[in-house]
Amino acid sequence: MSMRSVKLLARLPLLALFMIAGCGSGKPADKPASPESTLAQLAQPPEPPKTGNGSVIGDKVGETEFSYRWPQVAANSHDLDRWLRGNGERLRKETMDSASEDEAQAKKAGYPFRGHSYEEEWGVAADLPALLVMQSEGYVFTGGAHGMPIVTTLIWDKAAKKRLATTALLDTPALITAIKDRFCKLLDAERAKRRGAPVDPKDPNQLADFVRCVDLAKQTILPVSAKGRTLDTIRVVIMPYEAGPYSEGIYQIDLPVDAAILATVKPVWRGSFSAG
């Protein structure tokens, strides 16, 4: 499945993806299997090529494919490029090793082996003088009933040359308090749009888990830039089965930064934020 296909599926109300911060399993059941494929000999890929569009680690053995990409702006930073390359190679090895084990088990049990796949591409969510913020989208399939999407985030401190957690920039408990009411209203509006009906906790046909607001402390929260000059937006990414069923896909709610959010920014990073 191409990255463009994954992005389209994430926006269709009747098709869905399931987020993992790391990896998962599954893919459409109609993908043809190839019991003859073998992963006994794993080819070692060359160092990821760098082009004007960034870098990529790619591998294909039998019916198993792997692709991991990051943009040129990240490839231009030696330390960040090295981390991304190492992370991508680790994921490549895990994908190929898992596929090899599953193929051996399938052969032993006498059932067809279905090739695995892993695809992840990083995009830039903010490129500021002090910080580079990235968010990845992708897809994993390990032979199950369906695939699972990937959403991963990264904040890079350009001066210190290291990754930062969101908690390094924001007082997250205070942030959650500041955005909860606004977030829950926006989430319900998006739910209603996808479902074609308002969210109604009293409706017995609407599952209780999918009409209440989600626990923000368990979601992915990331500061991003809508205007390209500062971190002016707080993004919340909610995976399927959190806000809605698998068929509703990933929810992504963007909240413009306001005074209440600015009050939760750590002093050292206050200059990187502004009202949206």
CA 182 to chain centre: 23
Domain segments of the chain: what residues?
3-164, 167-272
- pLDDT(44) > 80: no
CA 205 to chain centre: 30
Confidence of residue 252 (pLDDT cuts 50, 70, 90): very high
The DSSP bridge partners found for residue 256 are 233
pLDDT digits (tens, 9 = 90+) for 77-109: 999 999 999 999 999 999 999 999 999 999 999
Higher per-residue confidence, 53 vs 131: 131
How many Cβ atoms sit within 10 Å of the Cβ of residue 229?
A: 12
pTM higher than the cut 0.85: no
Contact 104, 84 (CB under 8 A): no
Q: Which residues of 165-195 are buried (b: 16+ CB within 10 A; e: fewer)?
A: ebeebbeeeebbebbeebbbebbbebbeebb
Return the CATH superfamily for domain 3-164: Fervidobacterium nodosum Rt17-B1 like (3.30.565.40)
Distance between CA atoms of residues 32 and 20, nearest Å: 25
Contact 24, 142 (CB under 8 A): yes
pLDDT digits (tens, 9 = 90+) for 156-179: 999 999 999 999 999 999 999 999
CATH fit for domain 167-272, picks 3.90.640, 3.90.660, 1.10.3470, 1.20.950? 3.90.640
Sign of the CA dihedral running 139, 141, 144, 150: negative
Please name the helix (run of DSSP H) or strand (run of DSSP E) that holds residue 79, with its range, or none.
Answer: helix 78-109
Q: Which residues contact 65 (CB under 8 A, 6 or more apart)?
A: 59, 115, 116, 117, 118, 119
pLDDT digits (tens, 9 = 90+) for 115-127: 999 999 999 999 9
Look-up of token digits 């019916």: 63
